[in-house]
Amino acid sequence: MNINRRAQQRSVEIVSNKKIGAYHHMVFAVGDMALHALPGNFVAISVGGPGSSMVLRRAFAIYRTHDRGNYGGTLELVVAPHGQGSRWLTALPMHATVDMVGPLGTNFGIPTEPVNALLVGGGYGSAPLFGLAELLKENGCRVDMVLGASSAGKIYAPLEGKRAVNSMTVTTDDGSAGTKGQVISVLPGLIERYNIEIIYSCGPMPMLAAVQEVAQKFGIIHQCAVEEAMACGIGVCMTCVIPLRDANGEIRMSRSCIDGPVMDGANVIWNSKGEIPKGTVGEPHV
C-alpha cells in the first residue's frame, strides 16, 4: 500500500495564525513534510495539550504547501473553530508547537492532458481546492470554481485563489453574496458554458451527493473529498467508514482516511443514510 508511506510525525511550529472571516488561516513550519503533500491530503493534529482529556487527533484538510522560504517547508490550514479541539488550536499563539502527522490520505488525480475543470466547494471545505486550482493551471487546464456557503461571512475565497482560476462563482443560501441559493443551482449552466470535462469537489456530504447527481446526468467524472469524522486518521479505528462500490461492482465499507478522503463520486453509495446497504460484503445477517 502506497497510502501514507511518506507520512511523518513531528512537532511543528505555528508561524502564522490569522483570523479571516469565520475561519483561521494557520501556517506551520513542517520541513520536508511539505515536499510530499498534495491537494486532497490531510494532516492529523494532537489537540488540547499534554494534560487534555481529548485523546483523539483532529483531521484537517491541507490548504496549501510551500517547500521553501524563511521557515523551510510550510503547510497551511484553514480551520473553523467549531469544536473544542479546533477552538484550542486556533487560540494558540505564534511560535507555539503542535504534534502533527501527515501528509495522510489520498489526493486528487491530475489529468495527464489539459482539460476543462470545475471546482466546487462548500464553506471552509473549499480550502483544498485553491492549491488544486494552481496545480491544474500549471498543467494547462482551464479552471472554473464555484464556492457556496450559508452566508457571505462563511465564504473562503482569498484574492490569490481568485487569480488561480478563470472564473469564480459564489452562492449563498441567504443571498448575502453572489447568487442566492446553493451551488447545485448554478452547476448545469457552468458545465454547458465552459464545456466542463471533470468536476472536483470538497464540502458537506449532502452537497457532494448533489454534485454527483449533476455529474452523472452530464456524464462527467467527479472526484470528491468526503467529509467523514476521522478519529485516528490512519486506518486503525474504523469509525470513518462509508459504503463504496469496488472495481468488481461489490459494495464494501471502506475507510475514508485510507481509501479517501478523495474518491470517485460514482463509487460512493450516497443514499445509505448511515446504514450498511443491503448486499454489502460482510453484511451481518440477522
Indicate if 16 and 92 belong to the same structural domain: yes
pLDDT above 90 for 89: yes
User: Which is more confident, 209 or 231?
Assistant: 209
Window from 65-69, 76-80, 105-109 with minimum mean pLDDT: 65-69
Predicted confidence band of residue 15 (pLDDT cuts 50, 70, 90): very high
Task: Single out the residue in 179, 210, 227 at which a domain terminates.
Answer: 227
pLDDT at 223 (0 to 100): 97
From residue 47, give the alpha-carbon distance in Å to each of 3, 94, 248.
24, 16, 40
pLDDT above 60 for 1: no
Indicate if 150 and 191 belong to the same structural domain: yes
Question: pLDDT tens digit string along 115-126?
Answer: 999 999 998 778
Task: Report if residue 34 sits inside a domain.
Answer: yes
pLDDT at 19 (0 to 100): 92
pLDDT at 272 (0 to 100): 76
Residue span of the structural domain in which 235 resides? 229-286
**Cis omega (within 30 of 0) for bond into 277:** no
Averaged over 225-233, what is the pLDDT?
84
Indicate if 274 and 212 belong to the same structural domain: no
Hunting for cell 511523518 — which residue is that?
A: 8
Task: Single out the residue in 187, 203, 227 at which a domain terminates.
Answer: 227
Task: Report if residue 1 sits inside a domain.
Answer: no
Task: Report if residue 27 sits inside a domain.
Answer: yes
CATH assignment at residue 13 = 2.40.30.10
pLDDT above 80 for 22: yes
The strand ranges marked E within the chain are 8-20, 23-29, 42-45, 58-66, 74-79, 97-104, 116-122, 142-149, 167-172, 179-180, 198-202, 221-225, 241-245, 251-255, 262-264
pLDDT at 138 (0 to 100): 93
Domain count, the chain: 3
Indicate if 241 and 282 belong to the same structural domain: yes
Task: Report if residue 149 sits inside a domain.
Answer: yes
Distance (Å, rounded) from C-alpha 79 to C-alpha 21? 11
Indicate if 174 and 262 belong to the same structural domain: no
Task: Report if residue 130 sits inside a domain.
Answer: yes
Indicate if 197 and 183 belong to the same structural domain: yes
Indicate if 221 and 235 belong to the same structural domain: no
pLDDT above 90 for 167: yes
Task: Report if residue 3 sits inside a domain.
Answer: no
Indicate if 34 and 45 belong to the same structural domain: yes
From residue 24, give the alpha-carbon distance in Å to each of 17, 78, 81, 151, 185.
7, 6, 8, 17, 29
Task: Report if residue 207 sits inside a domain.
Answer: yes
pLDDT above 80 for 17: yes
pLDDT at 87 (0 to 100): 94
pLDDT at 206 (0 to 100): 92
pLDDT above 60 for 286: no
CATH assignment at residue 134 = 3.40.50.80
pLDDT at 25 (0 to 100): 93
Indicate if 186 and 140 belong to the same structural domain: yes
Question: pLDDT tens digit string along 168-211?
Answer: 999 998 989 889 999 999 999 999 999 999 999 998 899 999 99
Task: Single out the residue in 104, 136, 165 at which a domain terminates.
Answer: 104
The average confidence (pLDDT) of the chain is 89
